[in-house]
């Protein structure tokens, strides 16, 4: 597909994701890690306005100079009169105004794309589209959080069904040999700077599971007292359990003795064959320890990913998020994209059921802080 076609397709998908929402659902921010849907809509448009239209499209007139403050996610340089505020406290611009802003930016972008931009600018646009696809996934997870933390438990889609796991019938752990493996992105097409560059890694022999842990398997951990025994947990994980009185994954509710969970279809009895979801790194690691195993490293995962199905859950790895050899930040604001987060976060590999089509590849490195549960995360065991 040509770039204009890609642009239209990606931009439309963002709006399609929001279609089932009421105006009020676009506004709230129940926790700091969740952004209001209307902020995502504005911020992804601001990206194209700021990095493409203003510097490269000479005839472009900025939609509203104040939007720069509202939709900039890098608050480092703020003017003297601006009031610092949280995204979820902003009723204005309204949803209608933000859709107008999107439409305005899209019209300008489509005109600009007719003029055959340079290769450098085309690459920036592709970065913008990948950026928007990341926000599409965040829209899905943030919408789930907003509706799933409302006491009325409204459905996002009555027809939602959790994806099934295609399991290797043999179900034996995959054996991987010791040796040098090549890790990192090397092909054509788009990748983020944190996937570069292709380099050699020496791996010891290991085994990795062809399947992800299910709700039924995780329930065994709960029923065995997993949340009450500090020996399975990192010290910091155990503090998290005790401080928050955690006894189950996010969205699980024990109602009158029976386990329920919130899905996009509303609150319902847990389907035990579902792939486990919404556990943080501490929980993933504690479960693995209880099983006498461990999580794979991100290098083990990438080296063996050709041997199993993936793409339903982001899979926690035992690897901290660190730069690859030779990693170099791009100059300017674009260079702030990944490098500055390379501390105290853990790598996740794979992709999830709400990852945008075409936005997953075997070298993709996702990363989150170890206490976060709101993504569609899962567990694959290694040993």
Site for a second copy in 100-139 (CB under 8 A): none
Q: Is 330 in the site for a second copy (CB under 8 A)?
A: no
Stretch that binds a second copy, among 42-50, 188-196, 209-217, 318-326 (CB under 8 A): 318-326
**314 touches 336 (CB < 8 A):** no
Return contacts of 148-152, CB within 8 angstroms, 24+ apart. 148/251, 148/262, 149/30
DSSP β-bridge partners for residue 315: 349, 378
Q: Is 245 in the site for a second copy (CB under 8 A)?
A: no
**Contact letters for a second copy, residues 37-76 (x by CB under 8 A):** -x---------------------------x--xx-----x
Number of residues in the chain: 383
Q: Alpha-carbon distance 314 to 376, whole Å?
A: 6
Q: Alpha-carbon distance 270 to 286, whole Å?
A: 22
Complex with a second copy: residue 5 or 179, whichever CB lies closer: 179
Complex with a second copy: residue 109 or 148, whichever CB lies closer: 148
Question: Taking the chain, what is the end-to-end CA distance rounded to the nearest angstrom?
Answer: 43
Closest CA to 44 of 109, 132, 140: 132
Stretch that binds a second copy, among 160-168, 213-221, 304-312, 334-342 (CB under 8 A): 334-342
The backbone torsions φ and ψ at residue 333, rounded to the nearest 5 degrees and listed phi first, read -60, -35
Report in angstroms how near the CB of residue 8 gets to a second copy at its nearest. 27
Burial class (CB in 10 A: 0-12, 13-18, 19+), 89: exposed
Site for a second copy (CB under 8 A): which residue of 47, 233, 310, 364?
Answer: 233
Tokens of 314: 């982001």
Report in angstroms how near the CB of residue 257 gets to a second copy at its nearest. 10
Is residue 181 classed as helix, strand or coil in its secondary structure?
Answer: strand
Pairing of strands 377-378, 314-320: parallel
Site for a second copy (CB under 8 A): which residue of 199, 269, 307, 311?
Answer: 199
Count Cβ atoms below 10 Å from residue 120 Cβ, excluding itself.
Answer: 8
Stretch that binds a second copy, among 107-115, 168-176, 208-216, 252-260 (CB under 8 A): 252-260
Q: Is 275 in the site for a second copy (CB under 8 A)?
A: no
Complex with a second copy: residue 69 or 190, whichever CB lies closer: 69
In what helix (H) or strand (E) does residue 143 lie, and over which residues does it extend?
Answer: helix 119-148
* Contacts of a second copy in 75-104 (CB under 8 A): 76, 80-83, 85-86, 88-95
Site for a second copy (CB under 8 A): which residue of 202, 223, 245, 306?
Answer: 202
Q: Is 243 in the site for a second copy (CB under 8 A)?
A: no
Stretch that binds a second copy, among 52-60, 123-131, 271-279, 319-327 (CB under 8 A): 319-327
Report in angstroms how near the CB of residue 146 gets to a second copy at its nearest. 6
Complex with a second copy: residue 19 or 170, whichever CB lies closer: 19
Q: Is 226 in the site for a second copy (CB under 8 A)?
A: no
């Amino acid at each position: 597909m040509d770039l204009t076609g890609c642009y239209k397709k990606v931009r439309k998908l963002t709006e399609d994701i929001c279609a089932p929402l009421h105006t009020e659902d676009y506004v709230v921010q129940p926790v700091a890690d969740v952004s209001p849907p209307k902020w995502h809509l504005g911020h992804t448009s601001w990206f194209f306005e700021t990095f493409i239209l203003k510097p490269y499209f000479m005839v472009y007139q900025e939609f509203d100079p104040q939007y720069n403050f509202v939709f900039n996610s890098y608050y480092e340089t703020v003017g003297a009169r601006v009031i610092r505020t949280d995204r979820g406290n902003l009723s204005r611009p309204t949803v209608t105004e933000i859709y107008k802003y999107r439409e305005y930016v899209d019209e300008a972008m489509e005109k600009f794309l007719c003029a055959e931009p340079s290769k450098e600018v085309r690459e920036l646009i592709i970065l913008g589209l990948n950026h928007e696809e990341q926000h599409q996934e965040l829209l899905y997870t943030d919408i789930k959080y907003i509706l799933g933390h409302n006491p009325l438990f409204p459905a996002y889609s009555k027809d939602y069904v959790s994806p099934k796991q295609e399991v290797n019938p043999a179900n034996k752990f995959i054996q991987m040999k010791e040796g040098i493996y090549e890790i990192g992105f090397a092909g054509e097409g788009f990748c983020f700077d944190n996937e570069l560059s292709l380099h050699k890694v020496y791996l010891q022999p290991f085994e990795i599971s062809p399947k992800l842990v299910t709700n039924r398997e995780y329930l065994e951990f709960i029923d065995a007292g997993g949340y009450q025994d500090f020996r399975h947990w990192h010290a910091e994980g155990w503090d998290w359990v005790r401080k928050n009185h955690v006894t189950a994954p996010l969205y699980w509710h024990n109602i009158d003795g029976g386990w329920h969970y919130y899905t996009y279809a509303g609150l319902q009895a847990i389907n035990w064959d579902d792939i486990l979801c919404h556990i943080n790194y501490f929980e993933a690691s504690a479960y693995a320890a209880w099983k006498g195993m461990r999580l794979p490293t991100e290098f083990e995962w990438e080296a063996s990913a050709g041997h199993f199905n993936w793409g339903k859950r982001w899979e926690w790895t035992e690897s901290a998020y660190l730069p690859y050899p030779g990693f170099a930040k791009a100059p300017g604001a674009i260079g702030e994209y990944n490098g500055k987060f390379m501390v105290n976060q853990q790598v996740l590999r794979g992709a999830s059921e709400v990852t945008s089509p075409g936005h997953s590849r075997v070298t993709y490195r996702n990363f989150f802080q170890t206490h976060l549960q709101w993504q569609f995360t899962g567990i694959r065991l290694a040993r």
